[in-house]
Amino acid sequence: MSLASELAAILSEDRVVTSGEEVGRHGGGVADHSPRPPEAVVYPESREEVAAVLVFAGEYGVSVTPFGQGSSLEGHVVPERGGISLDTSRMDRIVELRPEDLIARVEPGVTHERLNRELAPHGLFFPVDPGWDASIGGMAATNASGTNAVRHGVMRDQVLGLEVALANGSLMTTGGLSAKSSAGYDLTSLFVGSEGTLGVFTGITLRLKPLPEMAIAARATFGSVEEAGEAAIVMIRSGMLVGRVELVDERTVAAVNAYSGTAYPESPTLFLEFSGDEAAVEADTGRAREIARSGGCDSFEHEQDPAARETLWEARHKAGLAVRALNPGKATISTDVCVPISDLPGALGAARRTISEAGFEGAILGHVGDGNYHAIFPMDASDPGDVDRASRVNAEIVDYALARGGTCTGEHGIGSGKRRSLEKEHGDSIPLMRGIKRLLDPDGILNPGKVLPNET
């Protein structure tokens, strides 16, 4: 029997796809990594079906690559060995809402935008916002972050528990519904950020947050990215409740204006948001204006109207796509380093110099409130010289961060794209990581070729 017929016997024929556009989509996602289509895409609708697929894959040595919305940026969803792309998008039930406990239980295919629509009538929201309507399962797999992280933390801070299908098809749970626990090893944190290499999520228990009484969004423009970075640091240190602090350079603003039809001043800009009770929000907005002006701010404007705030943040969320649109036909390299915030201004300036000295036209943007920024620049993937220069630029930016106690990835994860950088950052820990991988996935069928260096 063929792979398709075997899988159809486990699921149903209409939920196993072996050709056409869907197979191509599952071979690459949105990232600029070499595509590799799977031999089959499967759409399980329950944890039992996920487990059955894994049992089959283990028995026949077929690799399994979990797939959510395909929005990850480091090649996580590319099936390096072909095999099965396991798409969890049909596992999209909100299993339970417990507003009184600030908890939701969801299946992995639920997207964060849909979850927030369901939470709004209860006066609640889920704070992790990666700038794409990603699935909760994919966000947990990569330990996603985003614009709200400076105040609310990253995905690992929001996950109370998981239901996981292991490589042998067994189902296990971690964590629970309580706000905290000291029971045994913290397996929840181990699986969050494991990028589909240790298990497949079939259920996720999340912390929720109350919707703020009031929110104000602001834009502050500066003469340089270093000035903008310094102002962001002062705001964070001041103790004000900044909900979001995003930096974009002048090239990014120009790209956003062209892409979204906006008319923002094309200068290095801080996008800010303050939320909470009315008195605190107004006070923090005023303090931020003073800090920005003392730091060389050219203009400071703010918006309370919800529609205007949504327009502003939509433009920021589209910044990465806007920069890519400036260079059609070229691959786009995006760094993802994170540094201690005191090192941020220097890191921004160093990244700008490194990119320019290599002859690239790059843009800089990021969640600078927690020291995470992205340098984005185009590369001709068909030109070996361009590829080599791009690799050197990326390595220099990573090395700058690591030399200051930072990390090669603040939110995108390792995937296949940053395995060498992980070795630089945590080479002494990789043997332990390999041991954990072998224990949970002895046959190496779960998302092979990801995270660990030299995995094939």
Range 217-241 average pLDDT: 93
Cα distance between residue 130 and residue 27, in whole Å: 22
**Least confident stretch, 187-191, 387-391, 441-445:** 387-391
> Looking at per-residue confidence, does 396 or 311 come out higher?
396
99 pLDDT more than 90: yes
456 pLDDT more than 60: no
Range 65-79 average pLDDT: 94
pTM score, two decimals?
A: 0.94
**Least confident stretch, 21-35, 180-194, 213-227, 259-273:** 21-35
What is the model's pLDDT at position 309? 86
Range 130-137 average pLDDT: 92
Range 331-354 average pLDDT: 93
Percent residues over pLDDT 70 in the chain: 99
389 pLDDT more than 90: yes
340 confidence band (pLDDT: 50, 70, 90): very high
> Looking at per-residue confidence, does 350 or 33 come out higher?
350
Range 124-148 average pLDDT: 94
Quick: pLDDT tens for 312-328.
888 788 888 898 888 88
What is the model's pLDDT at position 421? 96
> Looking at per-residue confidence, does 190 or 361 come out higher?
190
Give me 442's structure tokens. 């002895």
441 pLDDT more than 60: yes
What is the model's pLDDT at position 331? 87
Which structural domains are found in the chain, ordered by start?
A: 3-89 (3.30.43.10), 94-210 (3.30.465.10), 214-321 (3.30.70.2190), 327-412 (3.30.70.2740)
307 confidence band (pLDDT: 50, 70, 90): confident
Range 439-452 average pLDDT: 97
What is the model's pLDDT at position 192? 98
97 pLDDT more than 90: yes
173 pLDDT more than 90: yes
Range 293-304 average pLDDT: 94
198 pLDDT more than 90: yes
What is the model's pLDDT at position 368? 84
Give me 90's structure tokens. 């049909």
- Output the average pLDDT for the chain: 94
31 pLDDT more than 80: no
Cα distance between residue 309 and residue 215, in whole Å: 9
Quick: pLDDT tens for 158-171.
999 999 999 999 99
Closest by alpha carbon to 114, among 147, 144, 88, 136? 136
